[in-house]
Amino acid sequence: MAATFGRRQLGTVALGTATLGTLAAADGRDGQRRRGTSDAAGAGRPPLTGITDWARRTVRNMSLPQKVGQLFVTVVYGATVDTDHPTNRTEYGVGSPAEVVRRFRLGGVIHFSWTDSLREPRQIAELSNGLQRAALDSGAGIPLTIATDQEQGAVNRIGEPATVLPGSMALGAARESGAANRAARITGRELRAMGFTQNFAPVGDVNVNPENPVIGVRSFASSPELAAELTRSQIRGYQRAGAARNTVSATVKHFPGHGDTSVDSHTDLPVIDHSERQWRRLDAPPFRAAVDEGTDAVMTGHLKFPELDPSGEPATLSRRILTGLLREELGFQGVVVTDSLRMAGVHELHPAEDVPVLALEAGADQLLMPGDLSTAIEAVTDAVRSGRLSERDIDRSVLRILSMKDRRGTVSAPLVDTAAVDRTVGTSRHRRQALRITDETVTALRDDPGLLPLRAAAGSVFVTGWGETTTAALATEIRRHRRMTETLRTGDSPDDRLIGEAVDRAGRHDVTIVLTNGAWRESGGAQRELLRSLSRADTPVIAVAVRDPYDAACVDDIGTWLATYSYREVSMRSLTRVLFGVVSPSGKLPVPVPDPDRPDTPRYPFGHGITW
């Protein structure tokens, strides 16, 4: 039986009837010098709104190099602000994060684990303060945007001891806007305590294509309405997560919608063939909700949308999409930030040095992670001096960026209290809230043998399948229920010997719990064979999809299936509470699970979920 699913057809989706009239007007202006025709207020453009007095005063006193520097957000390497890191020297010609900020007059930095920036909360806060001092001392006296992608779930840049939550699709299963809001408030408060000012979340993409390799569980749902509701709730949570204005900026992504693709834009340029009406019905609702809610920022997607822009340009470089759709049709007045300019999807048609200028011409404000920062800054500066870009349009972008910083309290309070980090990050209160939220996400898809909840007779439990830390975390939680437990991690491609060992060990226990991750994919054949082999043993089997719920349709021989949408420890804790009847499963599928042999037919429909 084939275990991969074809594209989910869109023919049953109700379509809207609007047209792209505003884009024709945007195209007409492309015959002029694209950004060089505006006046100080932006002739031919909607008047700027939401600009703070501080931003206006500051821009008037900035030099062109200072303005251009504000457009860029990039990585710096090292755990402390004065760390001499070899990658900084390779990429930027200076050693420490502070030197990078000062040399390039950066508007912002973004942190990842691979930049050696995210070791533990107090270290992060101290690094944030050091970077802010470097920015404030670098000339214009403007604090930094300090950003990361703390989506939670599959994309979780900062782990324990920070509070970890199960992510977007799990929140979609909970069907509770209040839970999504609380999750964002927890994350937002903890990020701000560590010095972050912008979170590149939530994901507004509607995951209508199960084959999507890059979004998947990062999306709330396949339903535009549910995705819109939860996107709105999370934006409210992030941007109202702290006292007064001391909050983080939300950034909804990836406009105009990355949900229906089977290509990863990190490595290639996806093409989405939705019509204009399908875009409005399927992709636009979460972004429209985000704009209505007042999101500070929108991130672009590196993807072609031929029906929205037939030029072949990716959305990041498309004036029809960023200015025509996002600015003029949806009315967005905040900051447009590109996805990483190091990703392959944005470089298919243009050399790297042209991409930053093209993004600004299209309507972007923040330029994220150019491959060569010096070259990118030089290209933008030269474009202004040659007249290709207007300095007045650069001013508009800088005004948006500075106003975002001012609104969220970065200007009035750029530094954080490092001694207070432990009173906010990973507190017992936040952890209790996270567990209550996660309890609402576990979804029971089938239990034909009636194994659940586990009874006292199940005194010995065998835990096997995908994930070394995940199987270990589940076993630890099961032991807290006074059950004998044995663990065997088989990974994502167990060989015959390992499958045989798992079957042998299962026979020594009262029940087997097997975790899967990607078993439904073509590459998941070994996981499917593990499931079939365990089903033929005498020991009852419970299978749990710890990422994509699509695993639940890939092996019919397993009669009990649950989905957690997340392999994080908090999800294993809630899973255990469901297994032993401490809480009842209340999650409902936020996406349909297709039949592997008939991809247009759901094996488990949207909204499915059983309880006891």
Catalytic residue, from 27, 84, 116, 266: name it.
266
Question: What does the alpha-carbon distance between residue 575 and residue 581 come to, in Å, rounded to a whole number?
Answer: 10
CB 526 within 8 A of CB 493: yes
Length of the chain measured in residues: 612
387 by Cβ neighbours in 10 Å (0-12 / 13-18 / 19+) ranks as: exposed
- The two tokens of residue 114 are 């691979």
Instruction: Fill in the DSSP letter of residue 523.
Output: G
CA-based nearest residue to 61, from 334, 393, 396, 395: 395
**Torsion angle in degrees (nearest 10) through CA of 51, 57, 63, 65:** -30
Residue 344: other Cβ atoms inside 10 A: 13
Strands 335-337 and 150-152 turn out to be unpaired
Question: What does the alpha-carbon distance between residue 484 and residue 282 come to, in Å, rounded to a whole number?
Answer: 48
Query: Any catalytic annotation for residue 266?
Result: yes
Question: What does the alpha-carbon distance between residue 501 and residue 522 come to, in Å, rounded to a whole number?
Answer: 24
CB 301 within 8 A of CB 251: no
25 by Cβ neighbours in 10 Å (0-12 / 13-18 / 19+) ranks as: middle
- Render the burial of 251-276: b for 16+ CB within 10 Å, e for the rest: bbbbbbbbbbbebbbeeebbebebeb
Question: What does the alpha-carbon distance between residue 123 and residue 145 come to, in Å, rounded to a whole number?
Answer: 18
> Taking the CA atoms of the chain, what radius of gyration do you get in angstroms?
25
- The two tokens of residue 50 are 């939401």
Query: Any catalytic annotation for residue 111?
Result: no
Single-letter code of the amino acid located at 62:
M
List, in sequence order, the alpha helices (H) in 33-167. Answer: 53-60, 64-70, 86-92, 97-104, 121-136
Q: Given phi > 0 = left and psi -120 to 50 = alpha, else beta, which region is 331?
A: left
Instruction: Fill in the DSSP letter of residue 8.
Output: P
Catalytic residue, from 339, 365, 406, 548: name it.
339
Question: What does the alpha-carbon distance between residue 476 and residue 487 come to, in Å, rounded to a whole number?
Answer: 10
Tell me the CB-side half-sphere exposure of residue 532, using CA atoms within 13 A: 14
CB 156 within 8 A of CB 568: yes
- Render the burial of 59-86: b for 16+ CB within 10 Å, e for the rest: beebeeebbbbbbbbbbbbbbbbebebe
Check whether the bond before 161 is cis (ω within 30° of 0). yes
Question: What does the alpha-carbon distance between residue 286 and residue 257 come to, in Å, rounded to a whole number?
Answer: 9
CA-based nearest residue to 513, from 457, 556, 472: 472
Question: What does the alpha-carbon distance between residue 232 and residue 334 come to, in Å, rounded to a whole number?
Answer: 16
Handedness of CA 226, 228, 231, 235 (dihedral sign): negative
- Catalytic residue ranges: 266, 339
